[in-house]
Each structure stands twice: as C-alpha cells, then as structure tokens.
Amino acid sequence: TGRYYASTKFMIYSIGGTLGMLLATQLIGYTTGTYEIAEIASRTGEWLSRSAADTAFLGISVGTVKALAFFGFFVAFAIKVPIWPFHTWLPDAHGEAPTAGSMLLAGIMLKLGAYGFLRLVVPFFPDVWVAKLPLIGVTWATAFAFLAMLGIVLGAFAAFGQNDIKRLVAYSSVNHMGFVGIGIAVYAMLYGTAYMAGNSAVSSASMVDAITATNGAVLQMFNHGLSSAGMFLLAGGLYHKTHTRDLSEYGGFWVKAPIFGGMFVFMSMSSLGLPGLNGFVSEFLVVRGAWPVFTWLTVISMVGLLFTGSYILKGIRAVLHGPFNLHWKDYRLEIERTEFVAVLVLGVFIFLTGLWPNWILETINASVTTLLNGIG
C-alpha cells in the first residue's frame, strides 16, 4: 500500500543518513579526543591542520577521515532538511502521514537538518566548504547553494504539477527550505573564507551579508514551521471531512465554508511570502544577504518565486473557486472549532512576525553573531 511504501522509504532514508552521521561522529571523536561540540570547534584548527597523510583511525589517513566525516554529516542533514535531490521521501511521507504527523514533520523535524548544518557541519569543516570540487571547479558552498536553488525552482514546479493537496503542500516545503539552504551556503562560504584567511571572525566587509543571510535562514525555519503547520492542518481537516485529497474533486468550497476559505487564503499568502506576513521578512533577508555572494543563483531563486505564486494560486482556485461540486452539498465543510483555534494561534505569530519581526530576530541575531565571531 501507499502507506507501507512511504513508511519504508522514510525509514531507509532516515536510517541510511543516521548511520553515516554515526560514523562521522565516531571518526571526529576519535581524531579529536572528545565528543564535546565546543571542544571540537575549538580544536578545529588543530586537527584540520594535521598532515593528510597522518594516520588517524585504523590506518586511515587524516585526509580520508575528514572527507568521510564531512560527507557523513552532509548527507545525513541534507536528507533531513531536505535539500534537492535528497527530498524524494518527503512527499510520500506527508501524503500518507496523519495530520498531526505532517504538522510535526514540517514544523519541527525538517529544521533539525538545518540546525545540524549551522551548528556542526560549518564550524567543524570550514576549510572544506571553500575547497573546490574536482571536475566542476566550484566550492562546496557554491554547490550547496546551487542544490538549494534547484530545490526552490523544481520544488515549485513539482508542487504546481500535483493534484493531491497534501503532496502539493509537501513540495512547497522543498521550495521554502531551499531559501534556508541558500542562507546556510552564504554562512558556510564567508565563515570558511575567514577561517582560511586566519581570522577569528568574518571580515567586517562581509559581516553584514553573513549575518543578514544567516538570520534570514533561521527566521525562515521558524516561519516555515508556522505556515506549513497551518497548511497541513487545513488540508488534513478537509481530508477528514471529504476523505479525498484530490484537488479535482473539490471546487467552490468558499460558498459552504467561508471561514475555512479565509483561513486557507491567509495561510497560503503566508506561505507565498506576501509583504506584511512572516514569509516575506525571512525570504527578503536571505535574498539580501545572498545577493553579493551568489548573485546569479539568487536571481534564479527569485524567478522561482514566480512559480511559487503559481502553485499557491492553483491550490486556492481548486479548493475555493470554480463551480461548487454538488457531491458535497450534504457534507459539513466548515472548519471545526478546535481547528479554528489552532490556526488562529498560528495566525497571531504569522502577523506578529510579519509586522514586527524584531520580537524574535533579536534573539536569532545574538546567536548568529556569536557563531560568526567565534571562528577557530
């Protein structure tokens, strides 16, 4: 069945990534002599500066240990974000998960991957991010930004092609988490550049870009948690009433469910990034910070926002507009009281963040500034 396939695929991806991360953790711990994150970060210069030919673990050279550890962390967290092309488990998992499961998956679990990049992969491997990949001649940070850009553009195309409402929202997560990926890539590029130059902090010339993009990435994590949780709550509530996720079977629901319709449009506009709502602030910060570092990738990502609008409007049109499907004339389609309260709570934070983002940005900025001033 679809649920068995989705759960099996989710387990394979998760366990595969986790095993790689476990190997990376053991390699780093053995090489540095500690598993304390702060200690490892403080010893980064010491163990990264060792000769690549030195034996570090079971006869494996330090250079190989570095490569294996970085790759293990990179793949594990790229799966969890998810970054394209490690995203294919997500639409299946969302499509078959219960409403509460989808809300937790999109609102919390995806952010763990981004946190892993910010807290572990960049501080532990600053030199790798600015090293050039063989054959293609671009840095790891640039390649990561490219994959994030593909997630934005292709995620929007994939969402537009869906007729399943939950899969549409799932692909929108790939689209929105792409902006988180670009922000992380800027952080990695400028952090790595400063490290290789022997500086203890990102240069003052690049500090504004680094802080802006990283602040935007972290804020986008928070904002996506609000918007996607609301969208999955509304989509799940609609499924429980109609027992179908097929957009072609909906239509004209605004007539019978005006409150649901208003909530659906509101959450859709939040996901779209309408000015005045939360999504606009974080995406603007990422674009502003990434522009001087990855100009062309940022331009293409902004073009991808046009396609984001396309799938959002497709969802609104399919559910709320058009002729009313008479099959549902005897069904209660209006939002339930408990659903309304939950969406209302999310809506308060969406409005608050859109109109006064500093209530949370000040906290985010303090942590980000500490990260960027603690190199080596």
Crossing angle between the packed helical segments 358-372 and 165-196, to the nearest 10 degrees: 40
Spatial separation of the C-alpha atoms in residues 154 and 160, rounded to whole Å: 10
Q: Quick check: 155 and 224 in contact, CB under 8 A?
A: no
The amino acid occupying position 70 is: F
Spatial separation of the C-alpha atoms in residues 313 and 156, rounded to whole Å: 12
Q: To which H or E segment does residue 111 belong?
A: helix 110-116
pLDDT at 131: 85
Spatial separation of the C-alpha atoms in residues 260 and 339, rounded to whole Å: 10
* CA nearest to 350, candidates 279, 247, 289: 279
pLDDT at 143: 92
Phi-psi region of 95 (alpha: psi -120 to 50; beta: other; left: phi over 0): alpha
Residue 202 CA, chain-centre distance (Å), reads 24
The residue extents of the domains of the chain are 1-80, 84-372
pLDDT along the chain (376 residues), means of 10: 82 88 84 77 62 58 78 90 86 83 84 89 85 84 93 91 89 90 91 77 73 92 91 90 88 87 92 89 92 90 86 90 82 86 93 92 89 70
Q: Quick check: 312 and 272 in contact, CB under 8 A?
A: yes
Residues in the chain: 376
Phi-psi region of 322 (alpha: psi -120 to 50; beta: other; left: phi over 0): left
DSSP summary character for residue 366:
H
DSSP summary character for residue 336:
P
Can you give the pTM of this predicted structure?
0.89
- C-alpha distances out from residue 2 to 7, 94, 234, 278, Å: 9, 11, 22, 34
* CA nearest to 278, candidates 182, 211, 357, 173: 357
pLDDT at 71: 87
Position of tokens 């500490």?
370
Residue 185: exposure state from Cβ atoms within 10 A (0-12, 13-18, ≥19): buried
